[in-house]
Chain A
């Protein structure tokens, strides 16, 4: 029967009041941990997916929408652009542009977006092939790790794509007739590549030949004017620049030669003012998004602070009001040989126990919520959460929790250590 056990017995002697304190504490720790995790993982996703891209070029519209659609594969495209208008970007002697990756988007497979592009995109995102080979021919696809895992796709699997980017359930989906064949599976890269189906830009043109007016129907597809329908033949891979300049793609990802040069800094404005293309600086657009995030987080932060204060107060009130009932016990302990230090420690330990239990429950709560969110968020935001990943900050959170527990218990503990035996037990009561 040591002090820790005695504290524990005292705590559990009044289970309801203990439960209230612990739950409030768990709520506050849980919310702090949730905010930390969401913030950290969101930042990482943003950063990983920046992939050194300096500029996104597409059709006129909202620059944020263009950035989100082309880099994070969220939301809708701003429209399509004909190859003829963007030919200059592909010029290897371009003074500003070092390299480009063309994107064609608009179709999906079970909620995972199909992106027509060139294999260079893998180098940019630092993704590698885990199995199989790179896509070379039309209707060959390389799929992200998550796409393969979730849909049980293997090398050689065939599937049909859905027209549009939202999985509307089997009856409502318009399926394209052509089969895609999985030729490669990517290794996990913690970037948006994990969640994409990659194929050639030309594939989009083939698969949309059947629909008329797809570019105008609001679903923003890459072009569709090709007359022949011969993708199943061994269509030798052609460079996009050799294709018809009327053909359309969705957007271009651009890397500069020297991002801090004067020309590079003025490049987006020049494009926006002098052409009917839209150029967006992803770093800038993302910092705008983060600013929104931050102000939301500040409000949440105040809320969390308030809950933390209330939970500390609840520990304090529980301990302090229990002191009245316990004054005989405390005095008794002193007649049995316990010094003032022991009484102080007894109460402090009780505060710390609430803190530790609340901390453990809080972390379970926050990571439980994260794993629930993870299931939903991937579809909606193309944002993959690792719900059971613990941050170093959460270890610090334990120190914070212990400190709060100590702080809440210190006044009752001092009060307890001042218990006067003579007055309490033998006074004129």
Chain B
């Protein structure tokens, strides 16, 4: 569950941005659309608690992010927010499975090997658990990044331009995968994109 109201952000010495209100239910998928420079990345940062808004508030699972201290926000993020970036990033020195383990650990949860195995097999990565992320193909890396974002069963899953580097077929696959996995854990899926191919697939849309 994700709600935002009256969000605005002022860059130091720069322009001031105001954002539309959002209200997403658990399990819902929504697109956040806008041209480059429209501030959709900034809005994603505000929603995910990576930046503090100048005004307005973000509520995730009933918790207002404004009311959390920096340290509490770090902790809250680990437990309730999953993030997928345009390029897949990992802890390079750790294997795929270890990346998932440390994600559980950093979120303050016990390591759950069963959950790791299950998720990797759902994402067709069972054979790659012990591989270093740098050795995977781009598609495998993308799926491993999705696994990492979902491992802690977050309330909200943010995906930042997840399909910009993919062809049509792969785009369809990744979107299906994201929706399917988000539904499994009952997470709100918010995809930030300027990719028009997605507008045909997902009807719930917010334009900036």
| Interface residues, chain A, with chain B CB atoms under 8 Å away | 1-2, 6, 9-10, 12-13, 326, 328-329, 331-340, 342, 421-422, 425-428
Tell me if B45 and A422 are in contact (CB < 8 A): yes
Considering the complex, give the chain B residue whose CB is closest to the CB of A425: B85
Could you say which residues of chain B place their CB within 8 Å of the CB of A421? Answer: 50
Q: Is the CB of A422 within 8 A of B91?
A: no
From B51, B90, B106, A337 is in contact (CB under 8 Å) with B106
A337 CB contacts on chain B under 8 angstroms: 74-79, 106-108
How far does the alpha carbon of A334 sit from the alpha carbon of B107 in the complex, in Å?
A: 10
Q: Does B155 contact A (CB under 8 A)?
A: no
Q: List 10 additional contacts besides A337-B107, A339-B70; criterion CB under 8 Å.
A: A1-B102, A6-B91, A12-B93, A328-B89, A329-B90, A331-B89, A332-B89, A338-B74, A340-B74, A426-B45
Which residues of chain A come closer than 8 Å to B78, judged between CB atoms? Answer: 335-338
Chain A residues contacting B148 (CB-CB under 8 Å) are 336
Give Cα distance in the complex from A326 to B92, angstroms.
9
Chain A residues closer than 8 Å to B51, beta-carbon distance? 422
What are 7 pairs between A and B in contact, CB < 8 Å? A1-B94, A1-B102, A6-B91, A329-B91, A333-B106, A335-B83, A337-B106
Please tell me if the beta carbons of B79 and A329 are within 8 angstroms of each other in the complex.
no
* B91 CB contacts on chain A under 8 angstroms: 6, 9, 329, 332-333
Contact across chains for A1 and B98 when beta carbons are under 8 A apart = yes
Q: Among A12, A329, A336, A421, find the residue whose CB has the most chain B CB atoms closer than 10 A.
A: A336
Give the CA-CA distance A331 to B78 in the complex, in Å.
12
Whether B74 lies near A339 (C-beta < 8 A) is yes
Q: Is B103 an interface residue (CB 8 A)?
A: yes
- A422-B101 Cα distance, complex, nearest whole Å: 24
CB contact between B94 and one of A6, A336, A340 (< 8 Å): that residue: A6
B48-79 vs A: 1/0 string, CB under 8 Å? 10110000000000000000001100111111
Cβ < 8 Å to A, chain B residues 102-157? 102-103, 105-108, 111, 148
A5 CB to nearest chain B CB (Å):
9
Question: A3: shortest Cβ distance to chain B, in Å?
Answer: 9
Interfacial residues, chain B to chain A (CB-CB below 8 A): 41, 44-45, 48, 50-51, 70-71, 74-79, 81, 83, 85, 89-94, 98, 101-103, 105-108, 111, 148, 160
Report chain B residues within 8 Å CB of A328: 89
B48 contacts across to A, CB distance below 8 A: 335
A1 to B70, CA, bound (A): 24
B105 to chain A, nearest CB (A): 6
- Are A336 and B92 CB-contacts (below 8 A) given A422-B50, A426-B44, A426-B50? no
Q: Give 6 nearest A-B pairs by CB, closest first.
A: A337-B78, A13-B93, A9-B93, A422-B50, A328-B89, A1-B101
Q: In the complex the two chains form, what is the Cα distance from A34 to B151 in whole Å?
A: 52
Q: When chains A and B are docked, how far (Å) is the Cα of A425 from the Cα of B160?
A: 10
A61 vs B102: C-alpha distance when bound (angstroms): 77
User: Does B92 contact A329, Cβ atoms closer than 8 Å?
Assistant: yes
Q: Quick one: closest A residue to B75, CB to CB? A: A337
Give Cα A340 to B50, complex, Å: 13
Q: Do residues A335 and B50 form an inter-chain contact, with CB atoms below 8 A? A: yes
Q: How far is the CA of A12 from the CA of B85 in the complex (A)?
A: 27
Residue of A nearest to B109 (CB): A337
A-chain residues with CB within 8 Å of residue B75 when the two chains form the complex: 337, 339
- Min Cβ gap B106→A in Å is 4
Cα distance A335–B82 in the bound complex, in angstroms: 8
Q: Which residues of B contact A425 (CB under 8 A)?
A: 50, 83, 85, 89
Which residues on the B side are within 8 Å of A9 (C-beta)?
91, 93-94, 98
Minimal Cβ-Cβ distance residue in B for A342: B106
A329 to B92, CA, bound (A): 8
Q: Which residues of A contact B98 (CB under 8 A)?
A: 1, 9
Complexed CA–CA distance, A353 and B160 (Å):
37
Interchain CB contact under 8 A, A336 and B107? yes
Q: Are B106 and A338 in contact (CB under 8 A)?
A: yes
> Chain A contacts of B89 at CB under 8 A?
328-329, 331-332, 425
Q: Is the CB of B93 within 8 A of A10?
A: yes
Considering only CB atoms, which chain A residue lies closest to B44 in the complex?
A: A426
Pick from A2, A326, A339, A427: contact of B105, CB under 8 Å: A2
Bound together, the chains give a CA A331 to CA B103 distance in angstroms of 13
**How far, in whole Å, are A426 and B92 apart by their CA atoms in the complex?**
19
Across the interface, which residues of A come within 8 angstroms of B106, CB to CB?
A: 333, 336-338, 342
Q: Which residues of A contact B79 (CB under 8 A)?
A: 337
Measured between alpha carbons, how far is A9 from B108 in the docked complex, in Å?
21
Q: How far is the CA of A427 from the CA of B103 in the complex (A)?
A: 22
User: What are the residues of chain B within 8 A of A334 when measuring CB–CB?
Assistant: 74, 77
B50 contacts which chain A residues (CB < 8 A)? Answer: 335, 421-422, 425-426
* Residues B90 and A332 in contact, CB atoms below 8 Å apart: yes
> Inside 8 A of B93's CB, which chain A residues have their CB?
6, 9-10, 12-13
Among A6, A326, A339, A426, find the residue whose CB has the most chain B CB atoms closer than 10 A.
A426
